[in-house]
Structure 1
Amino acid sequence: MIQPKMIPRTMTPPKPFDLEGSWETVDVDWDFMHVRTLFGSIQNWPDLYKNMIVHLKPGCGYMEQVEIDWAPQCDDDSLPTDSALSQWASKLLDAMDQYGRPMRVNPEKTRQQLALAGFVDISETVIRACYNPWPEDATEKEAARWFNMGLSSGLTALSCAPMVRMLGMSKEEVEGLCDRVNKEICMRSYHAYCRM
């Protein structure tokens, strides 16, 4: 766990521990837990949710989870069905399934796992994360610029290990696919997005 150098006086950061290991050393209950983009990192979500609910303050504790559904969406058919982006997402999701740490977003399954762990008042908000600044809305356009920059710079790093180890692709094949994806996600004529 990485903690900032400046911690507000009203906050006590947790001592480092393994999220998937025992939480017996966790000796506090929290008001708030936030997890972001951990799909692909956690093997047993039901156990993690159970540990989280035990360490949230009863009656007032709150957990927030943000995940990216990497399957590309396109409402106007501007993204070809055989696009490199679609191929990349399919390969990445398949590889992570084989690895045993799925990245597929399944809201109903997550809702069931949260409820079984004891969470109540479960709600979901879905937003579009556009791959490039094609939207007319200024806020969405600006967010898309940042998303494009982050994805463009991290695409190969996100893809290489799963695709080489689990799918048997060569590093050069993965890099070639990522190069094609990077070109596509910069094409404003493709009105594609993923869900968060």
Structure 2
Amino acid sequence: MSSPQSPQSPQPSQQPKQGIACLGVLGVVALVVILLVVINRGGGGSSDDADASPSPYVPSSAPYTPPGDPYTPTTDPYASGDPYSSPSPEPSPYTSGTCLNGTLPDSTTAQSVSGVEEVSCSASDAHYKVIETVPLSTDLSRCNGNPRTQYAFSYRYTLNGATINSYVYCLVGLGSYAR
């Protein structure tokens, strides 16, 4: 009987030789990198580098000079409070008891209105008095719950075309505007 021959396995001595060769290559690369760093930091420059000097920048025309002293502010940026805060994009809403002038349309649907401003209630052009303010709404029917309401007025505050807040004002008429 003959026994089957087993295949020969590779010699384990070849792997350590490849590892040593790889380490040798890495060592040479590291040495080259170190030499380049030392040379670039001034350790091995040529004698020509010592004689070279940078040429000064000469503008082709006179530089711009702003009128007046640019270091003297014309206004105190801190006089009006915090210079980093932006102004409020919307005025305070009208509160109960505020009087308004102008003319509001006699309509229950939204219409564009201009010229309505706050005035003293004793002014001859005081036409309306705010009796209720409903924030975050443009629905004029919100004033139906207040039986004293004679007029409803809606206003939207916008910033760059986007509505940031809105109010409905429930009003009573004053003088000839009373119903």
Shorter chain as normaliser: what TM range? under 0.3
Larger Rg: 2
- TM-score where L is the length of structure 2: 0.18
Structure number having the greater helix percentage? 1
Structure number having the greater strand percentage? 2
- TM-score where L is the length of structure 1: 0.16
Choose between structure 1 and 2 for higher RCO, CA contacts under 8 A separated by at least 6 residues.
1
